[in-house]
Structures are given as structure tokens and as C-alpha cells.
Amino acid sequence: MTKKALIAGWGELPRIWAEKAQAVGEDFIVIKIAEEITAEFSDLDCAEYTVKLTQLGEILEILKKEKIEEAIWLGKIQKAHLFDDFNPDQKLQQLLAQLADLNDDTILMALALEFINSGVKLLPQTYLLEDQLAEAGVLAGEIKTELKRDLIFAFETAHNLGRFDIGQTALVKDGAVMALEAIEGTDQAIKRAAKYGGPGVVMAKCSKQGQDIRFDLPTVGLKTLANLIENKAAALMIEAGNTFILNKEEFCRRAAADGIVIAAAEYKEGELILPWQK
């Protein structure tokens, strides 16, 4: 096996991957992004580094020193850091100065190229995590006829939103958009939708067309669900095969107990297959 590096952002996904990697005997290190640390790795058999988001040069030096051949990026990196007293090192400053814009894909593809030019292959985020992906179908609750229109509308809106590289999440009610996710992230978008739409909002989250699965696959977990419950949402539709559901069984059990429908649609050869068509 080649030696790997886990670039760990915010959330549970990096820890889940690290546990699986150790279980199958992977040789790996963890590089934690200081601004996003939520997981602990000290009990695992791996070297750990903590690096600020601004220190691209140091990250590349660590990869070289540790003779890393493959890396995986997992966990959220909040884009808002770019606009909050952001002081990049020379390497990152040079990279950002060459970009046409600061959209997610533009930044991530440039960073990916830096890794590749340093001799490090980027793995798909699904590596060792296929069991965390959503399956197509109705995963919790019962979809009533009156809910179907908003589920379709929310999902198609979220899918189209990705074309502009803005966000992954749309929230709707009664055929009207309540909120679209931008730089503030999913949780704040949910709260904004509930502020204007009240109870019964429907959320959808999906990848963009031509999604590069090496980074930024949609993810939902218990924190997202708790936010939906608190704001009395009606349903969540995600994209099967392209969305991580963390703590899947508990997630669906809690959703069902609180009356929130969880469903997963999928695109096959460009055609949208709805969960009630399974």
C-alpha cells in the first residue's frame, strides 16, 4: 500500500475515514487544518500535524518529508476564512493571485494541481467510505402526495444551483424558494429559510453536474438533522450515491421519530429518478 495523507477539515468524516484506514492496515498521516479541528486522532496509529489554512507551503513540505504518494481531503473548510483576516503564505498567495475568481471549484482545482505537481495523487472522497453514501429511495418517513412537488422543486433547484458553483443546498416551501446556500453554509441557510417560511420547509442537497469526487461531496449528519428538527422542516431530499450520510441508521431513526421525511433521488444517464419511483 502507498503511504497516504488525510487532510482533515471540520466534521466527523475525517475521523470515520481514519478509523477505517487503520482497520484495513493503511499507512497514513493526518494533517489537521487548525481553523477546522473537530476530530481527535491521538488514539490512532498515525503521525499528526496541525497546519493553518494559510500555510500551503508547509502542507506541501510535510507531504514531501513523509514521502506521501496519495492524499484524501475530507471535512468542511469554511470559505468564509478567505475574507476574515486571511494572511496566506507566499505559496498560497501566488496560487490565489493567478485565479480568475474565488469560486469553490476554481480554488479546489488549483490546489489539486499543486498536489499533483508535487507528486501526490488525490483520492476520491469515497475511498473507504462507500458505506457512508446514501442509497436511492425513501429512507425515513412516508412521502405524501402534497410533499412531492416541493421535493422535486427543491432538488432541481439545488442541482441547478451547482451549475453556478455557489452552493449545494436549496430550501423551498409551497413552490417558492426560501433560501439558497452560499458562503454562510447549510445550517445558516436552514435558519434563514425557517425565518421566512416557518414550519414545513423542504430542503434538498446535491452535487453539481460533473462533480469532481475528490473534494466537496455533499454531506449531512446529525447536526444538520438537529437543525432541521429545531426549525420544524418537513423533508430532506439528497442525491443517492453522491451524498454522505453520517451515522446513517441513527440519522434516519431520529428523522422518522420527529416526522421528517428523508429521501434520496438519483440521476441515471441524465434522467432524474425520484425516490418514490424505486
pLDDT of residue 267: 86
pLDDT of residue 278: 63
- Please state which of the four CATH numbers 3.30.420.10, 3.30.365.10, 3.20.20.70, 3.40.50.20 is assigned to the domain occupying 4-122: 3.40.50.20
CATH 3.40.50.20 residue ranges of the chain are: 4-122
DSSP 135: P
Going from the first residue of the chain to its last (278 residues), give the mean pLDDT of each consecutive group of 10, the final group possibly shorter. 94 95 97 89 94 94 97 88 81 91 86 93 97 96 95 95 89 97 92 97 92 92 96 97 95 97 90 85
Place of cell 494541481: 113
pLDDT of residue 142: 94
Q: Give burial (CB, 10 Å; 0-12/13-18/19+) of 208.
A: buried
Q: Give burial (CB, 10 Å; 0-12/13-18/19+) of 60.
A: middle
Architecture of domain 133-277: 3-Layer(aba) Sandwich (3.40)
Calculate helix-pair angle for 186-197, 222-230, nearest 10 degrees.
Answer: 10
Task: Provide the grid cell at 36.
Answer: 477546522
* Cβ 264 vs Cβ 137: under 8 Å: yes
Q: What b/e readout covers 72-111, taking b as 16+ CB neighbours within 10 angstroms? A: bbbbbbbbeeeeeeeebeebbeebbeeeeeeebbebbeeb
CATH 3.40.140.80 residue ranges of the chain are: 133-277
* Cβ 218 vs Cβ 205: under 8 Å: yes
* Residue 68 Cα distances to 55, 98, 113, angstroms: 18, 26, 15
